[in-house]
Structures are given as structure tokens and as C-alpha cells.
Structure 1
Amino acid sequence: MAHVQFTRNLKRFFPDLEPVEIQSDTVSDLVRELDVRHPHLASYIVDDRGALRRHVNIFVNERMIQDRETLSDALSTDAKVFIVQALSGG
């Protein structure tokens, strides 16, 4: 199962968000499962087409995913996934 961690700023909107283990074949599947467990979380990660939002990055085993449009990057059973929502502003 993939081990998923999140940036702390997402806890502001999802207070019960904690690291989790999820069985998924692709990053897209993982985001869908996260949305089932935490309704509306996907809207912070992907846009209405399912593409990664501009200020969000997903790392798998410390490497940024390659497919930001369909999130087709494969996940191994022992993948370490980190979802980062960048902060911006002045």
C-alpha cells in the first residue's frame, strides 16, 4: 500500500487529515480514494478536468510526478507519496 502524507496547511480545511495507507495503482486512483475518505479533498488537489492544480505538487518516492494532466504515474505497493500545496501571497 502507498503511504500518503500531506502538507500541514491542508489540515486547516481537513482537520482529521493524517498520513494514510492506500492501495492504488496510479496517482489518479489515489486522489479518487482520498476524496472518498475526505470529501472535497480532491478539489484542493486537482481541477475540474482532473489535472493537478498549478500550486500543487505530488511527489512519489521523492520525485515529482511526470503526468500533471491525467495523473497516470504508477504507484508501487510500497510507494511514499507526499502531496504539497504551495503557499503563495505577499
Structure 2
Amino acid sequence: MAELHFTPQLRRFTAAPQLHCEAATLSEALAAAFAVNPRLRGYLLDDQGGLRPNVAVFVDGRRSTDLHAALAPSSQVHVLQALSGG
């Protein structure tokens, strides 16, 4: 099963579960997280359903902006919000 991880910084704003899920795509994995906490969707996706510009997703160590990116059963997905400021 793919593993989905959220950074502690994102978990400060809303419950962001670490979970194992059977998902063929990044979109399916995120949908599993949204099923646990629907508020999480607003933090990660814009009104058109795409990733917000301040959200970075890494699938097996490589950044992905494609919600249709394929996941392997052993995929590791890390979701974080980009930080700004100085």
C-alpha cells in the first residue's frame, strides 16, 4: 500500500493523517486523505481541483505536480506547504 505523509507544519492547521492506502494515482491517494478529513482539501487544492502553488508533493523522492501521477504499491508520498518569507 502507498504511504501518504504530511509535514508537521501542515498538521498545525488541520488534521493531516499519515495513512496507508491502495491508490493507483496521486489523486486517489489524496482522495483517501480527504475522506478522513475533508477540510484538508482546501489547504491542498485550488477551486479548479489543482494543487495550490504553495503545495509541494513528492512521490518516491521526486516532485510531482501531476495529480494523475502513477503510484506503485510501495510508493512514498510526502505533502508539504512551501514556506516563504525571510
**Which residue identity is paired with 2:3?**
H
Q: For residue 74 of structure 2, what is the aligned residue in structure 1? A: 78
TM-score (norm 2): 0.89
Q: For residue 4 of structure 1, what is the aligned residue in structure 2? A: 4
CA RMSD of aligned residues (A): 1.4
Report the CA distance between 1:86 and its aligned residue.
1.1
SS at match of 2:72: coil
**Which residue identity is paired with 2:71?**
L
CA–CA separation in structure 1 for the residues paired with 2:70 and 2:80:
18
SS at match of 1:72: coil
CA–CA separation in structure 1 for the residues paired with 2:31 and 2:79:
14
CA–CA separation in structure 2 for the residues paired with 1:66 and 1:52:
7
TM-score (norm 1): 0.85
Q: Deviations over 1:17-56 (max 9, x none)?
A: 3421111111111111111101210111111111110011
Q: For residue 35 of structure 1, what is the aligned residue in structure 2? A: 34
SS at match of 1:30: helix
Provide the identity percentage: 37
CA–CA separation in structure 2 for the residues paired with 1:66 and 1:83:
11
SS at match of 1:51: coil
